[in-house]
Structure 1
Amino acid sequence: MRAALLLLLALSPLALAACGGTVSPERAYEECSERARLAVRPRGTVGLGVGSGGPVGSLDVTITSDFIAGRDPNLVYDSCFRNLTGAGPTRPLIL
């Protein structure tokens, strides 16, 4: 019984991946272009304000492993597109 449960747990990610299918080229372009942009430089926002409770602030920074590893944004885009669609990019990357 335990072996069957372990086998089921080991195979479930494969089954879920098979159900996911691919995304449209338009959606892949959007997602992969964003990922390539984040490979070029981190992105962040800073917010400052004053409310009834006094001063408020916020900070949001996004740093990807692609940026840290110094990956070429064009290769990030190409690899991402192929993973999402199963085919090569239909449009060139525009940063």
Structure 2
Amino acid sequence: MHRFAPAVLLCVSACGPVSLAQAERECLSQARLAEQPRGSVGVGIGSDGKPKLRGNVTITSDYLQGRDPSQVYQNCVVRRSGEFPSRSYSSIPAASL
């Protein structure tokens, strides 16, 4: 059992809180997805000469349930870091997102 102790400690420590700055960075995308769905579309020509169309859409349960993106951001940061965000979601410039 003792030989597994370092691996267990490593796994448990990986589940611990992250820094406030890291939590804020990681939670931005979650808050953005609470505002509206996101997606992308790609169009091209395959090697066979035929047109190719590719796309994806991401819709979260936060969006579907109408959750406030600012509250989603705050809850996420607190959950990940154990601290409140250093600034509100609404004060973050759109370019940072």
TM-score for the superposition, normalised by structure 1: 0.76
Aligned to 1:69: 65
Q: In the TM superposition, what are the counterparts of 1:6-85 in structure 2 within 5 Å?
A: 18-19=12-13, 20-53=15-48, 54-85=50-81
Q: Which runs of 5+ in 2 are unaligned?
A: 1-10
Task: Give the distance between the partners of 1:74 and 1:90, measured in 2 at CA.
Answer: 13
CA distance in 1, matches of 2:74, 2:32: 13
Alignment RMSD, CA only?
1.4
State the distance in 1 between where 2:47 and 2:34 align.
Answer: 39
Deviations, residues 9-40 of structure 1 (Å, cap 9, x unaligned): xxxxxxx5x53111111111111111111000
* Number of aligned residues: 79
The residue aligned with 2:4 is none
% identical aligned pairs: 46
Moved over 4 A (4+): none
Equivalence for 1:6: none
Q: Distance in 1 between matches of 2:27 and 2:47?
A: 41
Unaligned 5+ runs, structure 1: 1-15
